[in-house]
Structure 1
Amino acid sequence: MSGMNDAFFLNQFDIDELHCYPSFFNYLKKATPSHDDFIKLLSCSDLVNILNLAIDGLSDNTSKLNLGGQSDDYFDWRLYRNKKLSLVLHGFSKGKIKREYIAIYPNNMRIGVYLGSFSYTIYTVDNDKNCLIETTSGIATQGQVFSTLAGETMLVIHEIFEPCITLNESSVEHLPLIQNFKFDTLTLSHISSADVAYSRLESAFKIFEMLDYKNVIDKLTDISKSHPMHYIRWSAATVTLRLSEDTIHCKELLNHLINNDESNEVSNAARQTLNNIEVMYG
């Protein structure tokens, strides 16, 4: 299966439109919808009507979706989002899902199987060993509901046996960081931001490095010293070190991070990097 770039998104409902779907409307009015409330929502007739609207909306996009075949395409339709939660219909075709990493949801999640079946594993994060532990695995079928905790547990789908549609509820409130684990070893690979703006900033750093664009060295140095998120500071610092040909500048930056950065992770990484530079270049 392909990645998120192959998905396409349909417009969400306005709150006034949801009056036509009382089950959804009443669910969203609850202060804290329960697990049982979500199960009832998954089986309500309103969801059938909403899904029919989604399919009608896809009538001009038949090349983008083929739930009855072997297509790699799938869709996401955000039904509604308020200050507490987001409801999304997620549909995808049968086949094995290929992945290199497992990114742990930064939100609390409920995933309900509306249609189809798939094999899955639920993993728990072991923060002491920086790895994932398999909690349970099996075959998910229609009507089954999974709940995962932000930064702690994750549902990983391996293979879609039948064209599948899920109803996903995620909390709008989320953790600032996403832990990414290697799929083959289940060990921690890297940390990324749950904030879209920060993720794009890290992507920009990688582009500057790829293009060997040295004009940004001064700006990257400033970010290394002043950005509020420690992983962004270190990401900017590592790209600075790779772009810069000035060993003195690199050592000055690392010494600044060693002596001034409030994060032990950054200061320790900077100390180790400085030691490596001194061994290699003196």
Structure 2
Amino acid sequence: MAKKEIFKKYIFLAVLAGIIGGVVGAGIEKTYDDLISNKLQSSISVRKDLGKEFNNNVFSEESTVQSIIEKSSPAVISILSRSSHHDMNLPSADNPEFIGSGFIVSNNGLIVTNAHVVNDSDKSYFIVTSGKKMYPIQEIKRFPEDDIAILSINASNLPFIKLGNSDQVKQGQKVIAIGTILGNLQNSATTGIISATNRQITASDPMGTSEATLDNLIQVDASLNPGDSGGPLLNLSGEAIGINFATTEGAQNVGFAIPINNLKTLIEKLNKQ
């Protein structure tokens, strides 16, 4: 009889333990499920926040680029050339032709471009603004060793582009290039990043008549085209950090710009003369 009572007690305790274990197990399972669910919801929320932040950043960058192009384009000019011995009786083939780009750096008509764009002393040069106004170039100061030319026209109250600091450019930095591509598509804009700095290349003029080795160039992946030479390379503050200079024949998305600090040094020298 005593053995039966002890056996019943064991059965009761086992059943009770099973009930308690089931209850506790169910509670643990529910807690675990709730924990997983909360973490999943938190992860989804974080992803949504990151996605929203990414979209906002993309939209903000696009708006910035659009604003810079809109504000800077009036200060970007096209350069035309014509034989200095132009005869008005000659056919239209002797009319001025687009040869490159440039940009205004002061409101009184100081303009910068590449020296190779205006290297022919037997030609006369003109600039055309985005508003289709044409001005003859009054003076050209060429610096072939830097492939920079500083031009002046007789005008005032012109829009101009501020000069940045090319010593501060970084690899991967977003940039904007504006110029007259393919000879007649004025104020075309393209974007890219700085691929590298301190590049050295040996470049020749379009006719292949002369070569120059230039150091400390900014390499960009922006799509530069014939006619972009002399146009501005801008940062996202709308400042010129370079002068578009050359593309690499046979390679895509490889272009170069002359650091704007080279120009600033030349302007300082001219102001001291």
Structure 2-normalised TM-score?
0.23
Name the larger-Rg structure. Answer: 2
| Higher helix content, 1 or 2 | 1
